[in-house]
Structure 1
Amino acid sequence: MKTARTIPGNVIDASLMSAPPSGSSGRRPASEVINFIEGARVLTAGELEAHSITRYRVTRSYREQIINSGYHEQLKFIVEPSFEEFESPGNLDTSGEHDNTVVPGFQHKYAQTGLLLATDRCASYCRYCFRKRIVGKDSDEIAADLGQIARYIGGHPEMTNVLVSGGDPFVLSTGRLHAILDHLLPFPHLDSIRFGTKMLAYAPERFEDPTLVAFFQRISEARKAAVIVTHFDHIGEISVDAERNILSLRARGVQFLNQSVLLAKVNDDPEILAATFAKCHQMGIRPYYLFQGRPVKGASHFQVPLRRGLEITHGINQRLSGIQKTFKYIMSHYTGKIEILDIGADDRVYMRYHQNKAPEKIGNIFSRPYIEGACWLDELPEGSDRKSAQR
Structure 2
Amino acid sequence: MFESRAEGLVSEARVQSEKKVPSDATLMNFIEGARFVPENELQANDITQYHVTKFYREHIQKSRYYEQLKHIVEPSLKELESPGSLDTSGEHDNTVVPGLQHKYPQTGLLLVTDRCASYCRYCFRKRIVGKDSDEIAPDFAEVARYIGAHPEMNNVLLSGGDPFILSTTKLEMIVDHLLPIPHVTSIRFGTKTVAFSPKRLEDPTLADLFRRMHEAGTTPIIVAHFDHMGEISSEAEHCIRGLRAHGVQFLNQTVLLANVNDDPAIIADTFAKCHEIGVQPYYLFQGRPVKGASHFQVPLARGIEIAKGANQRLSGIQKTFKYIMSHYTGKIEILDLGDDGRVYMRYHQNKYPDKIGKIFSRPYVEDAYWLDDLPEA
Considering the TM-score relative to the shorter chain, is it more than 0.5?
A: yes
| Correspondence for 2:14 | none
Residues 99-178 of structure 1 aligned to structure 2 (within 5 Å)? 99-178=93-172
1:15-41 alpha-carbon deviations (Å, 9 max, x no partner): xx9969xxxxxxxx9331111000111
| Correspondence for 2:256 | 262
- How far the C-alpha of 1:270 sits from its partner, in A, is 0.7
User: Which of 328, 333, 337 lines up with 1:334 in the alignment?
Assistant: 328
| Correspondence for 1:316 | 310
Separation in 2 of the partners of 1:269 and 1:69? 18
Separation in 2 of the partners of 1:18 and 1:244? 32
User: Which of 44, 50, 59 lines up with 1:56 in the alignment?
Assistant: 50
| Correspondence for 1:364 | 358
User: Share of identical aligned residues, percent?
Assistant: 71
| Correspondence for 2:267 | 273
Residues 190-209 of structure 1 aligned to structure 2 (within 5 Å)? 190-209=184-203
User: Which of 214, 217, 221 lines up with 1:223 in the alignment?
Assistant: 217
The answer to whether structure 1 residue 82 and structure 2 residue 80 are counterparts is: no
Q: Which runs of 5+ in 2 are unaligned?
A: 7-22
Give the conservation status (yes or no) of the 8 Å contact 2:331–2:347: yes
Separation in 2 of the partners of 1:144 and 1:329? 34
Give the conservation status (yes or no) of the 8 Å contact 2:5–2:29: no
1:147-183 alpha-carbon deviations (Å, 9 max, x no partner): 1101101110100000000000000000000010111
Give the conservation status (yes or no) of the 8 Å contact 1:201–1:242: yes
The amino acid of 2:203's aligned partner reads D
The answer to whether structure 1 residue 31 and structure 2 residue 25 are counterparts is: yes
Distance 1:205 1:19, change over 3 A: farther
Give the conservation status (yes or no) of the 8 Å contact 1:18–1:58: no
Give the conservation status (yes or no) of the 8 Å contact 1:229–1:257: yes
- How far the C-alpha of 1:127 sits from its partner, in A, is 0.2
| Correspondence for 1:388 | none
SS in 2 for 1:110: coil
Residues 239-258 of structure 1 aligned to structure 2 (within 5 Å)? 239-258=233-252
User: Which of 327, 335, 338 lines up with 1:344 in the alignment?
Assistant: 338
Separation in 1 of the partners of 2:169 and 2:156? 19
- How far the C-alpha of 1:232 sits from its partner, in A, is 0.1
Instruction: Output the aligned Cα RMSD.
Output: 1.4
The amino acid of 2:238's aligned partner reads R
Alignment length, in residue pairs?
361
- Give the TM-score, by structure 2 length: 0.94
Give the conservation status (yes or no) of the 8 Å contact 1:33–1:41: yes
After the TM superposition, which segments of 4 or more aligned residues of structure 1 sit over 3 Å from their partners?
17-20
Separation in 1 of the partners of 2:232 and 2:26? 33
Separation in 1 of the partners of 2:57 and 2:44? 28
The answer to whether structure 1 residue 380 and structure 2 residue 366 are counterparts is: no
Separation in 1 of the partners of 2:190 and 2:26? 32
- Give the TM-score, by structure 1 length: 0.91
Separation in 1 of the partners of 2:285 and 2:275? 18
